[in-house]
Amino acid sequence: MEKPRLTIIAAAVLAVLSYSANTAAAQTTTETTKKTDNQKQNNDKKDDKDVEKITVKGSYTVSSVVDTATGLGLTLRETPQSVSVLTASRIRDQDMESVVDAVQNTVGLSSIAVDNVRNTMQARGFDITNYQIDGVPLSWSLGGDAGETIADVSIYKRIEVVRGSTGLLTGAGDPSASINLVRKHADSTDFTGYVSAGVGSWNKREVTTDLSSGLSQDGSLRGRFVGKYEDGDSFTDYYSNKKSVLYGVVEKDIDPNTLLRVGASYQDNKPKGAVWGGLPGVFSDGSTTNWDRATTTAAKWTRWETTSKNYFANLSHSFNNSWQAVFNYNYLKYTSDTKLLYLYPASDDDESEQDTVEGLDKDTGSGLTSYPYKSHGDSAQNSFDFQLKGQYDLLGREHDAVFGAIYSKQKAKTVSYDTDAYPDVDNFYDWDGNFTEPNWSSQASVEQDMDTVQKGYYAATRLNVTDELKVIAGGRLASWQRTGVSYDEVSDYGDDNVFIPYAGVLYDLTAQHRLYFSYTDIFMPQNAQDRNGDFLDPVTGKTYELGLKSTFFGDMLHTSVAVYRIEQDNLAQDDVEDGVTYYVPGSVNTVAQVGAKGTVSKGFELEVVGRPVAGWDISAGYSQFAAKDASDAEVNTDHPRKQFKLFTTYQFQQWLPSLTIGGGINWQSQTYTADVRQGAYSVVNLMARYEVMKNLDVQLNVNNLLDKTYYNYLDSSDEVRFGDPSNFALDLQYHF
């Protein structure tokens, strides 16, 4: 190994570790990785001892362990739930840069861009409230306002999505899906990696590097460093952003059966001209607005800066009896600093001087007032995770088992600064961003100061009843508590020792076709009290799923078909009986709540992923659901009921092997709120990559080729935001 190369990697890794450590000051760390090296794959009669070593059957398919659903170390076909994986090849082909980019290109998932930083994500009619890093569940910052959904994906090797309830591993949440971000590991003893530089629409410029190498002569010590810097504007007026990403990880083989991994990551976003909320979707007369897509409600002084820091450590040991123990620790800190401006329809109840009809006047452009807002927030989470998994013999057959425990505590606090004025907007048609910044108070007021503690103990087993029949059973004992103050309201609620069951059955119809059924569960504590003053039991989400997973062309092409039913029960509703409204004891106007039957979501999903012939990669899927509450009314109508997603590439192996071309289409059905409707629409994307010379290629991506105008945000207050117009990205990459 060449010493200069070792020096480069070592210096880079140490730089990111020391930089992150210095910026975190006295904060200690905790969380968890949950993927490990040296784990036996069982069931498909594989004896691969390295869980993180992925066998790529096609650019868009993997035959690796996916631990997002059960923790048993199962492959995609062995997991009795719908699972999608975005590989590194797919991420690069489509030029995905953020978590929300991945969501928008995953079968059955959708997203809503609330503003420049916050995005909500949905699946099967419910919001996605769970995510994982290396299989370990983590919590979003309160309100999701610290930039998690726009986190850069350059530090991840793949992204896994399990749809449905995921309570066995994630604990509390909604019965929608869980997103698992799998970090890049230091798994190369050779000096390898890439450097790239790119440009794009709206003055975008970026540089990225990803370097790996052994750091010792015997290869037992390895390092990896990822760095990225991006600067650019937007299709909306006055907006620009600078993004910095750093990631470093070091791995040490303590002995042939023991691996230690430590690392850190850092991301900083500095957007200017950031928006808060959306544009008016309707005028005061009820007619719909028709803005130019560059229109914004932001002022030139608005900003929404976010920073995330993550420190992690992972220790795994494989015993000689095929069992493996894994310990993970993570520390995750988010911070945000904002100066924002919210424009909304004035009314007689506001401090506004206007007394016109509520809403934006179509003729004069008057009718909006302002709410300036300045805040600072931070969220720190420590997490510990332990897992023991392996095989055992029973009745002459070998079976799998996993035992795990997790503890996490999140402390989140947000303070705001009052202002001296809430001026009206005389004429929004003349808006040019030159809105006077108000004077801010030097004294901060606490808006939220919350502690959230989650504990869980889980166990599961897979019984190999016959060569064709497998049965999975397990459960989690989960506790979730939140205490503190939120907007002057004292919060102290949660649930202890809630049992979450998990069950699945898989049957091999043939060697290529596997039928499965699963029942999964999840729960969500709720801050609601009944007429006796007692807190309601948590909302529960139950998922029943029946599916068929198949492989073709020697495992090169994977297909899946799933139908499901989700029941969300015990949802809090006002306690009204025989015309009488009951109140919480000791309160003046807090209406008591009762747990009632909630939403039922029913639907199906189809997915095709792989390489049917040499040089041709494809990912395609269709999803459809219907979600209604107990009164048979549709819920979450801003979630698209139907979606079709296709992306495919072809490399001209015979005629011009240096050229790869590709393209795709994302279609979704209509969405709507009270007075705003977005009709069904399609977005067409293209890509092309050409190998200029050995190890050097250039790639062009064109998104929204047909320049479709559409809303990617609809709000119950009739606010809207536009999706990106047609844009391009050109990237030059040298890999070695």
Q: What is the pLDDT of residues 144-164, one digit of tens each?
A: 677 788 899 999 999 999 999
CA distance 482 to 485: 10
CA distance 621 to 667: 11
pLDDT value for 210 = 98
How would residue 29 be classed by pLDDT, with cut points 50, 70 and 90?
very low
pLDDT value for 291 = 96
Q: What CATH code is carried by the domain that includes residue 104?
A: 2.40.170.20
CA distance 128 to 522: 12
Token pair belonging to 355: 């007394």
Any residues with CB less than 8 A from the CB of 96 and at least 6 apart, and which? 86, 90, 102, 105, 153
Query: Do residues 384 and 333 lie in contact, with contact meaning Cβ atoms separated by under 8 Å?
Result: no
The total number of structural domains that make up the chain: 1
**Residue at 199 is within a domain:** no
Q: What is the pLDDT of residues 507-527, one digit of tens each?
A: 999 999 999 999 999 999 988
pLDDT value for 53 = 38
Any residues with CB less than 8 A from the CB of 256 and at least 6 apart, and which? none
Lowest mean pLDDT among 64-68, 261-265, 543-547, 559-563: 64-68
Nearest one of 499, 452, 451, 543 to 166, comparing CA atoms: 543
CA distance 108 to 76: 17
**Residue at 687 is within a domain:** no
pLDDT value for 232 = 97
| 730 has pLDDT over 70 | yes
CA distance 168 to 165: 9
| 14 has pLDDT over 70 | no
pLDDT value for 11 = 44
Nearest one of 140, 200, 169, 165 to 73, comparing CA atoms: 169
Mean pLDDT of 590-612: 91
Q: The dihedral of CA 499, 500, 501, 502: what is its sign?
A: negative
pLDDT value for 142 = 64
CA distance 249 to 535: 44
How many residues are there in the chain?
Answer: 736
**Residue at 574 is within a domain:** yes
Q: What is the pLDDT of residues 200-251, one digit of tens each?
A: 999 999 999 999 999 999 999 999 999 999 999 999 999 999 999 999 999 9
CA distance 495 to 172: 10
CA distance 676 to 682: 19
**Residue at 213 is within a domain:** no
Using a pLDDT cut of 70, give the percent of the chain over it.
Answer: 90
Mean pLDDT of 471-491: 91
CA distance 48 to 34: 17
**Residue at 405 is within a domain:** yes
Lowest mean pLDDT among 365-369, 458-462, 484-488: 484-488
| 20 has pLDDT over 90 | no
CA distance 706 to 58: 30
pLDDT value for 24 = 38
User: Facing residues of 152 across strands?
Assistant: 98
pTM of the model as a whole: 0.88
How would residue 32 be classed by pLDDT, with cut points 50, 70 and 90?
very low
| 591 has pLDDT over 60 | yes
What is the phi/psi pair of residue 3, to 5°? -60, -40
Lowest mean pLDDT among 114-118, 327-331, 411-415: 114-118
**Residue at 76 is within a domain:** yes
How would residue 588 be classed by pLDDT, with cut points 50, 70 and 90?
low
Query: Do residues 155 and 247 lie in contact, with contact meaning Cβ atoms separated by under 8 Å?
Result: yes
CA distance 286 to 427: 18
**Residue at 197 is within a domain:** no
Exposure b/e, 257-279, CB count within 10 A at least 16 = b: eebebbbbbbbbbbbbbbbbbbb
Distances (CA, A) of 382 to 312, 637, 699: 10, 36, 40
How would residue 12 be classed by pLDDT, with cut points 50, 70 and 90?
very low
Owning domain of residue 524: 3-187+243-630
Mean pLDDT of 656-664: 94
| 10 has pLDDT over 60 | no
How would residue 421 be classed by pLDDT, with cut points 50, 70 and 90?
confident
Give the helix/strand (H/E) hosting 16.
Answer: helix 3-24
CA distance 174 to 523: 7
pLDDT value for 139 = 76
10 Å Cβ neighbour count for 177?
A: 31
Q: Is 174 helix (H, G, I), strand (E, B) or coil?
A: coil
What is the phi/psi pair of residue 12, to 5°? -65, -45
Query: Do residues 164 and 210 lie in contact, with contact meaning Cβ atoms separated by under 8 Å?
Result: no
| 349 has pLDDT over 70 | no
Rg (CA), the chain: 26
pLDDT value for 352 = 47
pLDDT value for 42 = 39
Lowest mean pLDDT among 50-64, 623-637, 651-665: 50-64
pLDDT value for 9 = 40
pLDDT value for 568 = 92
Q: What is the pLDDT of residues 307-332, one digit of tens each?
A: 999 999 999 999 988 899 999 999 99
pLDDT value for 570 = 87
Q: Is 128 helix (H, G, I), strand (E, B) or coil?
A: coil
Give the helix/strand (H/E) hosting 88.
Answer: helix 88-93
Task: Return mean pLDDT, the chain.
Answer: 88
CA distance 358 to 342: 16
**Residue at 325 is within a domain:** yes
Using a pLDDT cut of 90, give the percent of the chain over it.
Answer: 72
| 18 has pLDDT over 60 | no
Torsion angle of the four alpha carbons 33, 38, 39, 45, in this order, in degrees rounded to the nearest 10: 150
Token pair belonging to 411: 């402390």
Mean pLDDT of 705-732: 95
Give the helix/strand (H/E) hosting 392.
Answer: strand 368-394
